[in-house]
């Protein structure tokens, strides 16, 4: 329970269905960060979750995963930005905390399954589990769940995945839950007020050093304020006035430089992902998939070029824009686009016109 409406209603639905429910919240950071007003799992959110648990008549506990969170999610966040990658801490939290450490802790506590407020669905076909997009396409969160395999899906429930967000809020209102009108969390939970620049200044200063902005031909056209402030595809905040819109094409951490280009030069023909995980069997070389590389982003048809242990490469049918290293890529079934096949972390991209 994060203190939000989705996990609150997920718990309520399970109580209604007769499950023996225990509410669990994760303490993910220490000291001053625990008092942040933004994000989930802060002191205020814990109070909201506890009150919801009281209304539902279920026990509620806060489990301390602060050390694990810092050693994995925050450490990865820092190293990715330092290397010019675009991290996704919410995906990493699912990968290393919620559906790993917490799932194992739940087993030791005697729980049979872990239920969350994610908008996704689980089904069974021929004795195998499937992970499907949530009914509410605007809130679908299957993209951030690519790390779930058969064993983890067998012990996971998504009670709100079959409903629209409006229905979730309606149920919360009818039950008198204090989270019914609570806005969705949008910011990175450990970044105060969403001010990434200030966070990087304090915690990753090496990624916030000024450096050159250059064109694809090597001409310097400006100076950036630190590579952690930018991501591939970004236009705003470059401070360049050349009479044409320019976008970040790539980030070179070794030279501490941004490479910019016109939009027509942003195309990406394909990419390679590492740390792959699949719900069932991985796609085969030569197979077809649909690729999503942003939360709530569109999907792109692609061909699987090669599959190796922990690694997969794809080529888009048509060039895609603003594909960044460090982002997650989720793969969906080309014939049944509701079905999530799995995913991984983008480790390398192929500029349009080059070969995979």
Q: What is the CATH number of the domain that holds 214?
A: 2.30.30.280
This prediction has a pTM of 0.92
Weakly modelled stretches of the chain, pLDDT under 70: 31-41, 353-356
Structural domains of the chain, count: 3
CATH number at residue 329: 2.40.30.10
Place of tokens 């269905």: 17
Verify that 41 and 184 share a domain, yes or no.
yes
Task: Specify whether 93 is catalytic.
Answer: yes
At 356 the pLDDT is 43
At 170 the pLDDT is 98
b (16+ CB within 10 A) / e for 213-251: bbbeeeeebeebbbbbbbbbbbeeebebeeeeebbbbbb
From 238, 264, 290, the end of a domain falls on: 264
Residue 142 lies in a domain: no
Active-site annotation holder among 40, 41, 90, 93: 93
Active-site annotation holder among 90, 189, 268, 311: 189
Verify that 174 and 57 share a domain, yes or no.
yes
Task: Specify whether 189 is catalytic.
Answer: yes
Verify that 178 and 57 share a domain, yes or no.
yes
Phi, psi angle pair for 88, to nearest 5°:
-130, 90
Residue 148 lies in a domain: no
Domain that holds residue 173: 5-117+159-193
């Amino acid at each position: 329970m994060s203190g939000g409406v989705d996990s609150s209603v997920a718990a309520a639905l399970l109580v209604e269905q007769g499950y023996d429910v225990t509410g669990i919240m994760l303490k993910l950071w220490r000291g001053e960060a625990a008092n942040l007003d933004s994000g989930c799992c802060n002191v205020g959110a814990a109070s909201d979750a506890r009150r919801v648990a009281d209304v539902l008549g279920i026990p509620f506990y806060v489990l301390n995963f602060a050390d694990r969170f810092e050693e994995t999610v925050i450490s990865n966040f820092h190293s990715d930005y330092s290397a010019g990658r675009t991290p996704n801490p919410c995906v990493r939290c699912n990968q290393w905390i919620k559906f790993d450490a917490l799932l194992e802790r739940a087993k030791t506590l005697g729980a049979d399954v872990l239920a969350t407020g994610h908008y996704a669905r689980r089904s069974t076909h021929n004795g195998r589990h499937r992970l499907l997009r949530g009914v509410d396409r605007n809130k679908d969160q299957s993209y951030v769940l690519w790390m779930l395999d058969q064993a983890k899906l067998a012990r996971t429930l998504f009670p709100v995945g079959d409903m629209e967000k409006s229905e979730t809020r309606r149920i919360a209102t009818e039950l008198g839950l204090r989270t019914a009108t609570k806005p969705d969390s949008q910011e990175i939970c450990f970044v105060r007020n969403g001010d990434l620049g200030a966070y990087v200044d304090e915690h990753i200063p090496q990624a916030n050093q000024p450096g050159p902005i250059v064109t694809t031909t090597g001409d310097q056209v400006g100076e950036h304020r630190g590579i952690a402030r930018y991501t591939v595809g970004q236009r705003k905040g470059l401070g360049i006035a050349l009479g044409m819109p320019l976008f970040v094409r790539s980030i070179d951490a070794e030279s501490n430089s941004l490479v910019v280009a016109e939009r027509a030069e942003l195309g990406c023909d394909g990419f390679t992902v590492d740390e792959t995980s699949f719900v069932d069997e991985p796609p085969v070389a030569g197979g077809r998939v649909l690729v999503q590389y942003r939360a709530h982003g569109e999907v792109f048809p692609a061909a699987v070029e090669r599959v190796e242990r922990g690694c997969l490469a794809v080529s888009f049918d048509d060039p895609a824009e603003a594909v960044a290293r460090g982002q997650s890529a989720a793969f969906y079934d080309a014939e049944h686009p509701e079905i999530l096949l799995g995913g991984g972390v983008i480790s390398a991209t192929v500029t349009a016109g080059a070969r995979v």
